[in-house]
A = this chain, B = another copy of it.
Amino acid sequence: MSKLGSEITLGCDLGATNLRVAAVTQGGEVLASMRRALDDRAPSVVVQALSDGVAEVLRTLGEPLEAIGGIGVGVAGQMRGRDGLVLVGPNLGWRDVPFGEMVRSKLGCPVRVVNDLSAAAWGEASVGAARGEKDVLLVFVGSGVGGGLILGGRLYEGEGGLAGEFGHIKVVTGPKGRRCGCGERGCLEAYVGGHNLRLRVLELADAGRGQGILEAAGGDPERIGGIALELAAEAGDPEANALREEVAAFLGVAIANAVTLLNPQKLILGGGVLAGMHGLRKRVESCVLEAGGKQQVAQLSILEPALGDDAGVIGAALLARTS
């Protein structure tokens, strides 16, 4: 890779449904990008798609791979260490996939592989909502729940690259805890992640206690989910309100405890569930402020993400500079 390398790096974001690749400047500007839906998630197919995506972006850019300063990839999964071994990628259906090695061997150049929300956190802390801040906690509540930690101005990944696994904090202990996609019980994600939240709303409706929610879904059980829950709660349905309050409390206290422990300047709350449920978001923010350490909360700002869907590719591209 050449002199231009100091100017442009590539970032890739490998989510459960989409692959994105972008060429990004040092200042975080996206010069060229592509997105492709992932139908087949077999590791070798995904690696080929990523390689094709890189080639496509380079064509758009009019530059060879050698002109690029580095490549970073954010993956929706638990990584071990810094070599890109994906231990568990629940939404990709991956277990123990040596993804970093496969990508490196396919592209023939070094690649930095990180968790997708670590990449998003780095993007937001570098050129987004928390630009230039040293201590940033990012929590995303989408289909799943995850986080990213920027501590002391650096991406913090932990001993094994697993730091920021916010969704698997325990909020209920013992055998009564809801089963989580990770195989354990009582994880935050099992109660508040979009996929599980929809199941919980459906359970309420099945138990005959979700009339207000069913009405909010226009009587169509297929449309029951977080947004119907939000609408019913706003309309004063007591069952919907109780469930939404529980979700807010689980999320809010878990985040508050991380704020008490880590004393960040900025908390970035994002993801589809919070974007679609404004009332829930407000309650979560209140819970964080109520349950967090007083001094820590006094020093905290709660922000929305600023980079949207680009946070992951931008962060991954900028992280490629730091490895």
Contact = CB atoms under 8 A, between A and B. Distances in A.
A159 B263 contact: yes
The number of times this chain is found in the oligomer is 2
A291 interface: yes
A258 B316 CA distance: 25
B156 A151 contact: yes
B163 A262 contact: yes
Interface in A159-173: 159-166, 168-170, 173
Interface in A256-274: 256-258, 260-265
Interface stretch (A30-38, A224-232, A276-284, A294-302): A294-302
Contacts of A159: 134-135, 263-265, 299
Nearest to A78: B295
A87 interface: yes
A295 B160 contact: yes
A160 B296 CA distance: 7
Contacts of A173: 249, 253, 291
- Which of A80, A166, A261, A262 has the largest count of B CB atoms less than 10 A from its CB? A261
5 contacts: A134-B159, A161-B263, A163-B263, A168-B260, A169-B260
Which 6 A-B residue pairings sit nearest by Cβ, starting from the closest? A158-B263, A162-B263, A159-B265, A163-B263, A169-B257, A160-B299
